[in-house]
Each structure stands twice: as C-alpha cells, then as structure tokens.
C-alpha cells in the first residue's frame, strides 16, 4: 500500500517525463515543485471554504483565486492541460494527456 506522499512523488516523476524535452530541466523541476505545493495549499483552502464561514470572505476567496491562477500559469508554461478540482475530498490539481498519435486513452495524473 502506498502513502499519499509516495503517490505525489510518483506523479511528479511521471509528469516530468511527459513534458516536452525542449523546456529546460531546471524550469520543469521548479515548476513541478511549485505545482505540488500549490496543490497542497489549494486542497486546504477548498476544505476551509467548505468548513468555515471566515473562509468565504472576499479577501480569502481573492487569495485562493490568485493561487489558482498561478497554478494554471505554471501548468501552461509546461504545456500541461490542468483542471482544478475544488472538492476537498480529492486531489486539487488534475493533469491530463491525450496521446492521439498513439491512439491511447486520455491519461490523468493528480496532485
């Protein structure tokens, strides 16, 4: 049985291998680490929004929106298709790859 930490590490390794090789490896590593941290932060913020009234204040929601925008920007820089999953019971960032050229199904990876 794997831990959540091990699953996150495996996902980061898989994403690093799927990213276009033209992007410098240092940029890939930095952006993936930032995405991992943002994924953890966003999951906590989504949980707070469901549990506490103070987390639905405009200031808190604005900060969450900024973190979501940052995650989208980082994913875009890496050429990753990303969706936000705002339900705190799951992973907050979902990446998908469609390998049309190989006729393979869409692959999803979560952080």
Distance from chain centroid for Cα 77: 13
Q: How far, in Å, CA of 107 to CA of 55, rounded?
A: 33
Cβ atoms of residues 98 and 106 within 8 Å = yes
Q: How far, in Å, CA of 75 to CA of 109, rounded?
A: 13
Cβ atoms of residues 18 and 69 within 8 Å = no
Q: What is the pLDDT of residue 12?
A: 81
Question: In the chain, which residues have pLDDT < 70?
Answer: 97-107, 111
Strand order in the sheet with 93-97: 81-84, 93-97, 107-110
């Amino acid at each position: 049985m794997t831990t959540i930490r091990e699953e996150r590490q495996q996902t980061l390794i898989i994403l690093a291998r799927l990213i276009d090789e033209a992007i410098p490896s240092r940029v890939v590593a930095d952006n993936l680490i930032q995405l991992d941290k943002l994924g953890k932060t966003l999951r906590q913020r989504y949980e707070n929004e469901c549990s506490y009234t103070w987390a639905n204040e405009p200031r808190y929601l604005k900060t969450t929106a900024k973190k979501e925008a940052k995650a989208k920007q980082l994913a875009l820089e890496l050429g990753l298709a990303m969706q936000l999953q705002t339900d705190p019971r799951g992973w907050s960032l979902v990446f998908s790859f469609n390998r049309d050229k190989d006729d393979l199904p869409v692959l999803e990876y979560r952080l």
